[in-house]
Every structure is written in structure tokens, then in C-alpha cells.
């Protein structure tokens, strides 16, 4: 392993307090290899709904710029997100729409790993390919395998503490994070 610890930003697609996706995101630092240092992304929930007129009249809002800067400064990203109506949650899509209009588009050439947690059995399996589609347009570098889908969330997180306690899931995630570190080093030379 190379010496430099890689800086990885974790973006959660759910805004609710008791979110399973947010709970999984909080678990990731404990499952990551020593070569990855994970940090949560700044909030995006107060961004206005994207409108080109706002961009034209007052420029990019300060919190949009801060979100983009955090992405730019990271060596890689992990998106941990629910599936909403077989698709991407609107709040996170709105945030991505904002930064996608920036000159120095922050997702360009950025390694990205994807995880999803859902209440149902498919674990967000239908949305993950939409994430990959979006990453193609943004010229991000989506990590392929192992994929991480956590289904039946109600049975895999502690009801009170929200601790993720599914052993097979934990092992999959460890494998994904180890693979993601190798992928970042391969594509970035870091």
C-alpha cells in the first residue's frame, strides 16, 4: 500500500434523522482500510431548487460552492443513498444538478463508490444503475465491484441504536472499501 492516506468524502442521500443510509454512512470509517480516511460531506438540504436564473442573477449559492469544494478536494466519494420511486432522491439530485453547471465540475475524474440501503428486499438495486448513468455524464469514475445493496434494513440495524449488525453485509462493505482504495490509487496514481 502506498503511504498517503486517501481522503474520501461520504455523501448521504437521506435527510431524515433516523435514516438507515445515514446510519450506514456513520459505520463506514470503522469498516474502511487504514489507507482511507472518511469524512462526511457538508449539508445540501438548504440548496434552492436549481434554476438557471438564480445562477445568472446571483451566481452559485455559498453552500453550493462549499459542497463543490468539498468534492473537489477529496480523493474519492462514497454515495450512500436510498432509492426513491426506483430513482434518485430529489434533494441529492438537485445538489448534483447545481454543481454540474460549474466550470470546474467537481465530479470530473472523481472515483465514486455507491451503496444503497432500503426497507425492501432489493436494497435499492434499481437505482444504482441510474447513479452509474449520471456518473457517466459527469465524467466521474464509478467503481464497479463488489456492489453494496442493503435490503430489509429494519432487520439489519439495531432498532434503538441504529447500529449496523449484519455480518455478511459488513464483510461485503469491507471488501468494497478495500477494492475502492485500490481503484482510487490505480486511477489517480496516489
User: Are the beta carbons of 20 and 150 closer than 8 angstroms?
Assistant: yes
Return the SS3 of 77.
strand
In angstroms, what is the minimal distance from the CB of 13 to ligand FMN?
Answer: 7
152 alpha carbon, distance to own chain's centre: 20
In angstroms, what is the minimal distance from the CB of 14 to ligand FMN?
Answer: 3
User: Are the beta carbons of 16 and 92 closer than 8 angstroms?
Assistant: no
* Closer of 149 and 183 to ligand FMN (Cβ): 149
> For binding to ligand FMN (CB under 6 A), which residues are involved?
14, 16, 19-21, 82-86, 117-120, 122, 124, 153
* Closer of 121 and 189 to ligand FMN (Cβ): 121
In angstroms, what is the minimal distance from the CB of 174 to ligand FMN?
Answer: 21
* Closer of 59 and 120 to ligand FMN (Cβ): 120
| Polymer length of the chain | 190
DSSP-derived secondary structure for 136-165 = HHTT-EE--SS-EEE--HHHHB-TTT--B-
In angstroms, what is the minimal distance from the CB of 44 to ligand FMN?
Answer: 15
* Closer of 73 and 87 to ligand FMN (Cβ): 87
Q: Which neighbouring-strand residues pair with 113?
A: 78
Amino acid at each position: 500500500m502506498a503511504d498517503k492516506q486517501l481522503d474520501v468524502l461520504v455523501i448521504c442521500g437521506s435527510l431524515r434523522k433516523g435514516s438507515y443510509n445515514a446510519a450506514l454512512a456513520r459505520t463506514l470509517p470503522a469498516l474502511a482500510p487504514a489507507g482511507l480516511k472518511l469524512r462526511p460531506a457538508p449539508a445540501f438540504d438548504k440548496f434552492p431548487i436549481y434554476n438557471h436564473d438564480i445562477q445568472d442573477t446571483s451566481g452559485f449559492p455559498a453552500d453550493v460552492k462549499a459542497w463543490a469544494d468539498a468534492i473537489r478536494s477529496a480523493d474519492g466519494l462514497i454515495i450512500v443513498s436510498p432509492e426513491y420511486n426506483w430513482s434518485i432522491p430529489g434533494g441529492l439530485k438537485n445538489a448534483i444538478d447545481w454543481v454540474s453547471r460549474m466550470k470546474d465540475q467537481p465530479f470530473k475524474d472523481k472515483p465514486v463508490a455507491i451503496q444503497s440501503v432500503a426497507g425492501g428486499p432489493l436494497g435499492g438495486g434499481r437505482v444504482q444503475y441510474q447513479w452509474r448513468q449520471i456518473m457517466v455524464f459527469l465524467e466521474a469514475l464509478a467503481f464497479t465491484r463488489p456492489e453494496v445493496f442493503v435490503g430489509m434494513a429494519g432487520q439489519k440495524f439495531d432498532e434503538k441504536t441504529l447500529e449496523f449488525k449484519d455480518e455478511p453485509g459488513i464483510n461485503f462493505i469491507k471488501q468494497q472499501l478495500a477494492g475502492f482504495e485500490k481503484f482510487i490509487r490505480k486511477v489517480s496514481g496516489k
